[in-house]
Chain A
Amino acid sequence: MIHQKMTALQPDDCAVEINHVSRVFGSVQAVNDVSLSIRTGEFITLLGPSGCGKTTLLNMVAGFINPSSGAIRIGGKDVTNVPVHLRDTGMVFQSYALFPHMNVFDNVAFGLRQRKFTKADISSKVMQAIEMMSLSGMEHRRISQLSGGQQQRVALARAIVIKPKVLLLDEPLSALDKSLRAQMQVELIELHRNTGLTTIFVTHDQGEALSLSDRIVVMNRGQIQQVAEPIDLYRNPANGFVASFIGEINALPPATCTVASDEISLDIGNIRLIAPRRPEWQFASGQSAKAFVRPEHIRIATPADGGRNVVTGEVLTHIYQGSHTITRLNVDGLGPIEMRLPGGDVVGRVPVGLKADIAINLAEVVLLSNTAN
């Protein structure tokens, strides 16, 4: 579905274009030569650890921070030197930043009033947005009388009612408790579908990023690590940082490759793992590579495995998580390995301290050249 959307768009159909943008704070390079094109109607997520530059980048799009170099275009227009109030972006702040001296209605109406709409127009647009965010009947409430989730909705209503060229969300869910956050995720998806607003979402939560985004931009140390759709990002991370930042993954020690016609053998010390060869891999025999294996691709070995990709490790701990159990083992030659066993199958567990044979499924292994990190 996403692919159809992509092909339907023209190359000049860019809502936001970030062109070689850098920002330096004193001696800190917060954002380092970032270029990114965001398509109209796209939900794009800037994901990375704190201090990776994602919030700085968002603030540069909004106009709160000026780039040290580079240019930003919104809707085809260069806005690099345009002040905040003329950029026509709608931002939802982490703190919501609602106006405490105004009620819900006046908060939502604020942007429309700056745009000099008629009173009747403002009233109907505000009530529509309030209804859309399920806040009907609360328009005369004070902000201090609202729950966290309701404040979140007001902040969203206030941002979308002005029909901005781009909606900017700065970790808007981080202040909510877990169940409310899950509910707001669903509402964000629906809101995006209903409004079709181009959205830039900033988060450090990879779960949020994977479930909400059309595309994810992974950032680290001020630079873009990878831009990809969620599935692609999870299955084909571009480097070790992305591999370990998105989801859980076991980084195996460096391996020496032996390339055959339809498989690649990976020798790690005395251990030999064999992966089915993928066309995009450009490895030569003798080359050093790093393999990354997801915990869900490891299971307890059975006789049917015939010893292929089976290693033995000592069970260190079981972490029961309800729907699955995470088991940590120490495998000679590979180091600590985490595996994820479905269900709370307590009976099938190997007791802590005993050895277990585990089979590694390398069909979806992430294999990266050892130099790329």
Chain B
Amino acid sequence: MTQQRPFFIPFLVPAVLVAVIFAAAMFNVFQYSFLEFVPGSVEVGGFTLDNFARINRPIYYWVLLDTFLLSFATAFFALVLSYPIAFAVVRAERNWVRSVLVVLAITPLFTGEIVRTYSWMLVLGTDGVINTTLKALGLIEGSIPIMYTRPGVVIALVQFAMPVMIILLATAISQVKRDCEKAAANLGATPNTVFWRVTIPLTMPGILSSFVVVFAWTMSAFSTPQLIGGGKVLMISNVVYLQGFSSFNLPFAAVLSLIALGAALGSLGLMKLATARFERKLATV
């Protein structure tokens, strides 16, 4: 091991450079949060703690809570929708079925976030695909509002998260020992029982970690709530943007960013604890 160290140090240089630059930027944000806001100017004043005092207003608590709930809902629905697809990807008996599923599941990753969000606006809008179809079928009179609502934002965020979730879940499902499922069936368990009592518990670490990843990822969502929420659904990133680039209150934007970071890290930490417990429980036999 010690002999190998000089050999791989050069390969670490790019990563270290990126990390240092990122840390410097983060430190800058941290620094800004303690500087005085001068209205009507992007220049900042001297040291102050006022920015942190400003956070103590219901609107920011609501935004934080909203961000948390929207992220949680997104992770939940993404999980429920992704698991069957990931299961089919792993367990498909025919190779071509597997290939088609993988392509369908992963391709959205390669279209930009803006493109995907605009597509959703076309689908969800007042005269979008959903409303016109329902109207044509005579199921509704007027239009149901989906755009600029929380459900609309969650729908788009879920679709955005699913490819990553499918990849993570497929990895977990592929590691389930088929013999365990066969043993359960052999002992008299119906396919349904095998799934809930064996497959799901054995993939629980993957379920939890993919949930955590999507949750944390969605906490920082910006363009989807910006475009589909249209200012009526605000997540923390949108408020940071408003403060920083509409009001040019960079110090307060910095405070909000730190709080968003803290909230994300905090919830990640909590969920990681839960995951670790499961992983210990399932320590390899």
Tally of A-B Cβ pairs under 8 angstroms: 75
Interfacial chain A residues near B177, Cβ < 8 Å: 95, 97
Interfacial chain A residues near B183, Cβ < 8 Å: 91, 93, 97-99, 158
| Residue pair A144, B187 in contact (C-beta under 8 Å) | no
Residue of A nearest to B189 (CB): A114
- The distance in angstroms between the C-alpha atoms of A95 and B180, with both chains bound, is 9
Residue of B nearest to A59 (CB): B182
Tell me what chain B mostly uses at the interface: helix, strand, loop, or mixed: helix
Find residues 127-174 in chain A having any chain B CB closer than 8 Å to their own CB: 142-144, 151, 158-159, 162
- The distance in angstroms between the C-alpha atoms of A91 and B183, with both chains bound, is 7
| Residue pair A98, B188 in contact (C-beta under 8 Å) | no
| Residue pair A144, B284 in contact (C-beta under 8 Å) | yes
Answer yes or no: A320 CB below 8 A from chain B CBs: no
Also in contact, A89 and B186, with CB within 8 A (given A100-B284, A101-B282)? yes
Answer yes or no: A245 CB below 8 A from chain B CBs: no
- The distance in angstroms between the C-alpha atoms of A97 and B198, with both chains bound, is 11
Shortest distance between the CB of A220 and any CB in chain B (Å): 26
Shortest distance between the CB of A57 and any CB in chain B (Å): 16
Answer yes or no: B145 CB below 8 A from chain A CBs: no
| Residue pair A110, B189 in contact (C-beta under 8 Å) | yes
In the complex, which of the residues A88, A101, A151 has the most CB atoms of chain B within 10 Å of its own CB atom?
A: A101
In the complex, which of the residues A88, A91, A100 has the most CB atoms of chain B within 10 Å of its own CB atom?
A: A100
Answer yes or no: B93 CB below 8 A from chain A CBs: no
In the complex, which of the residues B185, B189, B191 has the most CB atoms of chain A within 10 Å of its own CB atom?
A: B185
Answer yes or no: A178 CB below 8 A from chain B CBs: no
Shortest distance between the CB of B182 and any CB in chain A (Å): 6
Residue of B nearest to A170 (CB): B179
Interfacial chain A residues near B197, Cβ < 8 Å: 110
Interfacial chain A residues near B57, Cβ < 8 Å: none
| Residue pair B202, A84 in contact (C-beta under 8 Å) | no
Shortest distance between the CB of A354 and any CB in chain B (Å): 54
Interface string of A75-89 (1 = CB under 8 A from B): 000000001111111
Interfacial chain B residues near A97, Cβ < 8 Å: 177, 179-180, 182-183
Interfacial chain A residues near B266, Cβ < 8 Å: none
Interfacial chain B residues near A143, Cβ < 8 Å: 285
- The distance in angstroms between the C-alpha atoms of A159 and B188, with both chains bound, is 11
Interface string of B145-189 (1 = CB under 8 A from A): 000000000000000000000000000000001011011111111
- The distance in angstroms between the C-alpha atoms of A101 and B283, with both chains bound, is 9
| Residue pair A151, B182 in contact (C-beta under 8 Å) | no
Interfacial chain B residues near A85, Cβ < 8 Å: 185-191
- The distance in angstroms between the C-alpha atoms of A93 and B186, with both chains bound, is 11
Question: Residue A162 contacts which of B180, B185, B187, B202 (CB distance < 8 angstroms)?
Answer: B187
Also in contact, A88 and B188, with CB within 8 A (given A93-B179, A99-B180, A101-B202)? yes
Q: List 24 A-B contacts (CB under 8 A).
A: A64-B182, A84-B182, A85-B187, A87-B186, A90-B186, A91-B186, A95-B177, A97-B179, A97-B182, A98-B180, A98-B183, A98-B285, A99-B184, A100-B180, A100-B283, A101-B204, A101-B281, A101-B282, A111-B187, A111-B188, A114-B187, A114-B188, A114-B189, A144-B283
